[in-house]
Amino acid sequence: MKKVVLFLYELFIFAPIFIIATIITAVTVMIGCLIGNSKFWGYYPPHLWGKLACRLALCKIKVTHKSKLDPEKSYVFIPNHQSAYDIFLIYGYLGQNIKWVQKQELRKIPFVGKASEIAGHVFVDQSSLKSMKETIEKAEAQLDKGSSMVIFPEGARTKTGKMGRFKRGAFIIAKEMNLSIVPVTVNGAYDLMKIKTYLLNPGTLELIVHEPVSTEDLTDENMPDFINNCRETVHSGLWESYK
């Protein structure tokens, strides 16, 4: 009975409101960025959209900040990737003006892809050998006024709930731009919406923002240990069911 009620809620309440809100948000971002302050319009409408999506999913939200971050300083945030809902949780509750480094395929999403492009989010072509250099150049162009980058170091959503290995891309970008890494732990998003499904399973969404880690002494030689330490920090905040 519960599943039937949730399905009807998702079909007749969640989906219509979410679709309309997504279109309004995308159009607002596009118009706002073209005629006004792109830092404001590229972040605050999606910030409210993220909060709305989490509330529409009937979730309890829990946010923990291990240290106070400077809102005017740029960072590279590296969250684990549990589901598509990670994006809404981070947009809504991270508390920093952010730009995403995201897959090129996301540019094809109606309204959202174009809005992301206009807002200055960075699309990366993972099949290109020149991709990393181009990504760094694009990211540098977006970080001149205190915006931060969000990069999923696993590269893709988990299929099992367990965290995968971290790739080097986010750390190379942070090192090249002399930015601190901020590990972020996401909990609950996997249970809410598993990969390859659009059915909601409401529960608790948790976001843990760990202390920033300087990349000042990061080198090619110590990068594997640095990456592993950051991964362990993210892993330490996971619920036991995800470890």
pLDDT in tens, the chain (243 residues): 888 999 999 999 999 999 999 999 999 999 999 998 888 999 999 999 999 999 999 999 999 999 999 888 899 999 999 999 999 999 999 999 999 988 888 788 888 989 998 998 888 875 554 566 677 777 777 776 568 999 999 989 999 999 999 999 899 989 988 999 999 999 999 999 988 888 899 999 999 999 999 999 999 999 999 999 999 999 999 999 999
Q: What is the spatial distance between Cα 229 and Cα 8, in angstroms, rounded to a whole number? A: 44
Alpha-helical (H) ranges within 36-154 are: 38-41, 44-56, 85-93, 112-119, 131-142
107 contact partners, CB below 8 Å, separation of at least 6: 113, 114, 116, 117, 123
Cβ burial, residue 95 (10 Å; 0-12/13-18/19+): middle
Note the pLDDT of residue 243: 95
Note the pLDDT of residue 104: 81
Query: What amino acid occupies position 229?
Result: N
Query: What amino acid occupies position 3?
Result: K
Asked if CATH classification 3.40.1130 holds for the domain at 2-238, the reply, yes or no, is: yes
Q: What is the spatial distance between Cα 195 and Cα 164, in angstroms, rounded to a whole number? A: 14
38 contact partners, CB below 8 Å, separation of at least 6: 32, 118, 119, 120
Q: What is the spatial distance between Cα 105 and Cα 55, in angstroms, rounded to a whole number? A: 27
Quick check: pTM over 0.85? yes
Note the pLDDT of residue 108: 85
Residue 2 in tokens: 């519960």
Whether 154 contacts 186, CB under 8 Å: no
| Residue whose C-alpha is closest to residue 73's, from 176, 170, 143 | 143
Note the pLDDT of residue 127: 52
Whether 218 contacts 180, CB under 8 Å: no
| Residue whose C-alpha is closest to residue 238's, from 167, 154, 125 | 154
| Residue whose C-alpha is closest to residue 98's, from 79, 115, 120, 113 | 120
DSSP-derived letter for residue 230 is H
